[in-house]
Structure 1
Amino acid sequence: MVTIKKKATHNPLAEYIERLQKGDALLPDSPDNVLEVVGILKSYGVVLDAYSKNLNYIAEHQFLVFFPFFKYFNGEVSFQKLLRHWWHDRINFEYAEYCMKGMMWHGGGGLDTYLDTQEFQERAQAVINAKFKNNPFIQSINQLFPDFLTEHLRVSAYYTGLGQFWRVMADMFLNLSDRYDRGEIKSIPQVVEHIKAGLVANASNPITYAVKIRGKVYEIIPKSVGLTFLADTAIPYVEAVFFRGTPFHGTVSYNAQGYQIPPDQTRFQYGALYADPLPIGGAGIPPTLLMQDMRHYLPEYLHEIYRRSLRGEDDLRVQICISFQKSMFCVTTATILGLMPHPLDTKDPNEQKDNRVYLEKWMSRLQTSRLLDVNK
């Protein structure tokens, strides 16, 4: 009897699969990379702290407000803050909303599923009735267009979902910086392990949402629904922002006849792991807002490296974006390792095979990413 041996398939990123199997990161370990990643994550943590507070404020206090002129003020409106806002001497909260809308559009996870259930519809209607109890005009609008106000609350649910996710991540990144300053973090694998441990520790944190109207609390996403940090916000966020993203205006044609944008959202590859840093600073490039925010909070040791670069501070936002991409590959590594079907050190051949297949699927998605660029 003749047996045919199945030919092994070659993955272009086989080197990185082997790295992950050894517990290493997608980003090579070096003192410069450690400094760059920790420094940019410290800045990112400060910005995420502000983003998180504002998203949660909007969800809890600006829900069903049709013209929220002061939603970026977190309830602290003053003439001085208004001038700073108009002068754009502020955090660009628009980027947080951009990420929130991307998550909502791409969907995924239990939050997306719950917002289409009858339970959510009933809870949303109770909030709408209480909010506009004495407003016959809005009540009539709600009767004519029953999905209009409900959709507003769906958006509010994503505000709080992303806000709660970023709350955890901000603390995680700032704690990483503190550990680095104390000399506890000295390698990229340690950075990855810190992030993975944080994700695992907070994996089952409940995602809830309640609003107060005239002194009464209305639960929109009760704890009983069972939404959690990792499965229902973290993984959908990674999918929507790291991988899929949205095509930037001016970089691809939105003309349907040009076929430059895939018709299927699952084939989108415009996320943080794929985007070219060079257009940062140009019109229509949303991450410019994030890079602009992070430049205000760069630790001095990282800022000094940028100053000594070839162009100095002339391309500071681009340099920040490159560092940010490196850090996001560390976060991606932590996510990949944290979701492994079996322990890395398993001795079971079948489990090892499952792990290999799992890693190959991830690497297939990263073939057109910036992985090779950050490893140069």
Structure 2
Amino acid sequence: MVNTIEKPSGHPLADYVHRLETGGILLDESSENLIEVVGILKSYGVVLDAYSNNLIYIANQQFLVLFPFLKYFNGEFSLGKLWQHWNHDRINYEYAEYCMKSMLWHGSGGLDAYLDTDDFKQNAEKAILAKLKFNPIMLALHRLFPGFLPEMVRQMSYYSGLGQFWRVMSDMFLDLSDRYDRGEIKTVLNTVEHIQAALVANAAKPITYAVEIGGQTYDILPASAELTFLMDTGVPYVEAIFFRGTPFPGTISYNAQVQQIPDQQGAFCYGALYADPLPIGGSGIPPTLLMQDMRHYLPDYLHQLYQNTLRGEDDLRVKICETFQKSMFCVTSAAIRGLMPHPIDSGDPEHLAANRKYLEGWMDRFLTSRIYNVNQ
């Protein structure tokens, strides 16, 4: 039996604190939620596979290419693919770059910290000089503006880091779908447990990055930096994409006098757990690209669920976004459970008190989120 503190939490989201203390999750348990979460994560897994491959391709093959016009072709350019690209009959890799740049801008975590070290600067400089060895004009510009190319290398590091993170997440979600098809996943809690187990299993997976120039390999993120999947890419990703995000043009004023946007990045609340799905499809709403990508890979059972609703497919992208938001609360549940300071079945009152404090800290951040909306 799971132990819990006898005194109820006084937090406004106390119900969710108590859920997590007793082994529960943030999303309500229902058969419809199970179909939605597993189905959308199946689609998301397919899209993440494409995003991951492209980010890693750019990091490895477009290193310090100032005008990478063909970066979305993964080295497989043809006139037919160019025509598809111009007609938007393709994966919207721009959204992957949007997420990468959000992580770069918000920072935090071991990856961001390492990119400020002398070790990284030395590695970057070696790679830059090797790349520009036969380009005297660019070498001169590098000496004139010594901060420009190192910043590009920083960005390439995030391309690679996010690509490696999404590689793990894609496999995790596709494996979840396979298990559901085999009848092994029967509840939303099973879904969260699957994600939690995969996060824990891959937590220490190393994040490294090296480029090959002139037949020689140059380390950018060496193994000696000891960067890992969970703490150095996973947690910063959750912070930047799930919580902080960026304000969407057209939904909020960028006028500094209006003061609708906080002056501190840490106060941003525009991420996946907060965003209103209704504007999806509108101009300037980056997640529209993701919803458009996922709609191509919806499993039949989820597509049928959407078709049986009042509007059918008329608001399909909004429905996908609502479902995606539910799934992200499941992923967040897995992260919260996995990072819990002490086991929830601990009999030590101090351990339980520490868990309570930890969970209430998370709930502070959910106060303005859509946690109530996804559970209506």
Once the two structures are superposed, residues 307-343 of structure 1 have per-residue CA deviations (whole angstroms, 9 ceiling, x without a partner) of 1111111100000000000000000000000000000
Q: Partners in 2 of 1:323 and 1:62 — Cα distance? A: 35
Asked if the contact 2:9–2:17 (Cα under 8 Å) also holds between the matched residues in 1, the reply is no
RMSD: 0.9
Match of 1:374 in 2: 374
Q: Partners in 1 of 2:21 and 2:346 — Cα distance? A: 10
Q: Partners in 2 of 1:152 and 1:51 — Cα distance? A: 20
Aligned: 1:83 with 2:83: yes
Match of 1:207 in 2: 207
Aligned: 1:70 with 2:70: yes
Asked if the contact 2:246–2:268 (Cα under 8 Å) also holds between the matched residues in 1, the reply is yes
1:25-40 superposed matches below 5 A: 25-40=25-40
Aligned: 1:59 with 2:59: yes
Secondary structure of residue in 1 paired with 2:29: coil
Deviation at residue 216 of structure 1 after TM alignment: 0.7
Once the two structures are superposed, residues 171-198 of structure 1 have per-residue CA deviations (whole angstroms, 9 ceiling, x without a partner) of 0000000000000000011100000000
Deviation at residue 288 of structure 1 after TM alignment: 0.2
Q: Partners in 1 of 2:186 and 2:196 — Cα distance? A: 16
TM-score w.r.t. the length of structure 2 is 0.98
Once the two structures are superposed, residues 88-145 of structure 1 have per-residue CA deviations (whole angstroms, 9 ceiling, x without a partner) of 0000000000000000000001110111111111111110111010111000000000
Match of 1:315 in 2: 315
The worse-fitting range, judged by mean Cα deviation, of 213-222 and 171-180 is: 213-222
Secondary structure of residue in 2 paired with 1:310: coil
Asked if the contact 1:248–1:285 (Cα under 8 Å) also holds between the matched residues in 2, the reply is yes
Deviation at residue 306 of structure 1 after TM alignment: 0.7
Deviation at residue 65 of structure 1 after TM alignment: 0.2
Match of 1:301 in 2: 301
1:1-376 superposed matches below 5 A: 10-376=10-376
Match of 2:3 in 1: none
Q: Partners in 2 of 1:52 and 1:264 — Cα distance? A: 30
TM-score w.r.t. the length of structure 1 is 0.98
Q: Partners in 2 of 1:276 and 1:249 — Cα distance? A: 13
Secondary structure of residue in 1 paired with 2:212: strand
Q: Partners in 2 of 1:312 and 1:258 — Cα distance? A: 39
Q: Partners in 2 of 1:216 and 1:18 — Cα distance? A: 55
Q: Partners in 2 of 1:50 and 1:125 — Cα distance? A: 30
Letter in 1 for 2:280: I
Asked if the contact 1:39–1:177 (Cα under 8 Å) also holds between the matched residues in 2, the reply is yes
Letter in 2 for 1:155: Q
Asked if the contact 2:9–2:18 (Cα under 8 Å) also holds between the matched residues in 1, the reply is no
Q: Partners in 2 of 1:365 and 1:280 — Cα distance? A: 23
Deviation at residue 214 of structure 1 after TM alignment: 1.2
Secondary structure of residue in 1 paired with 2:69: coil
Deviation at residue 22 of structure 1 after TM alignment: 1.1
Asked if the contact 2:51–2:93 (Cα under 8 Å) also holds between the matched residues in 1, the reply is yes
Letter in 2 for 1:369: S
Q: Partners in 1 of 2:141 and 2:309 — Cα distance? A: 58
Q: Partners in 1 of 2:123 and 2:13 — Cα distance? A: 48
Letter in 2 for 1:231: M
Q: Partners in 2 of 1:312 and 1:31 — Cα distance? A: 20
Q: Partners in 1 of 2:149 and 2:99 — Cα distance? A: 22
Asked if the contact 1:45–1:174 (Cα under 8 Å) also holds between the matched residues in 2, the reply is yes
Q: Partners in 2 of 1:59 and 1:23 — Cα distance? A: 40
Identity %: 67
Deviation at residue 11 of structure 1 after TM alignment: 1.0
Asked if the contact 2:253–2:260 (Cα under 8 Å) also holds between the matched residues in 1, the reply is yes
Q: Partners in 2 of 1:132 and 1:364 — Cα distance? A: 49
Q: Partners in 1 of 2:369 and 2:173 — Cα distance? A: 24
Q: Partners in 2 of 1:314 and 1:327 — Cα distance? A: 22
Q: Partners in 1 of 2:38 and 2:16 — Cα distance? A: 22
Asked if the contact 1:23–1:189 (Cα under 8 Å) also holds between the matched residues in 2, the reply is no
Q: Partners in 2 of 1:344 and 1:293 — Cα distance? A: 38
Q: Partners in 2 of 1:111 and 1:177 — Cα distance? A: 30
Letter in 2 for 1:10: G
User: Aligned pairs, how many?
Assistant: 370
The worse-fitting range, judged by mean Cα deviation, of 19-28 and 326-335 is: 19-28
Asked if the contact 1:254–1:261 (Cα under 8 Å) also holds between the matched residues in 2, the reply is yes
Secondary structure of residue in 2 paired with 1:220: strand
Secondary structure of residue in 2 paired with 1:185: coil
Letter in 2 for 1:246: T
Secondary structure of residue in 2 paired with 1:256: coil
Q: Partners in 2 of 1:360 and 1:9 — Cα distance? A: 8
Secondary structure of residue in 2 paired with 1:98: helix
Q: Partners in 2 of 1:9 and 1:119 — Cα distance? A: 46
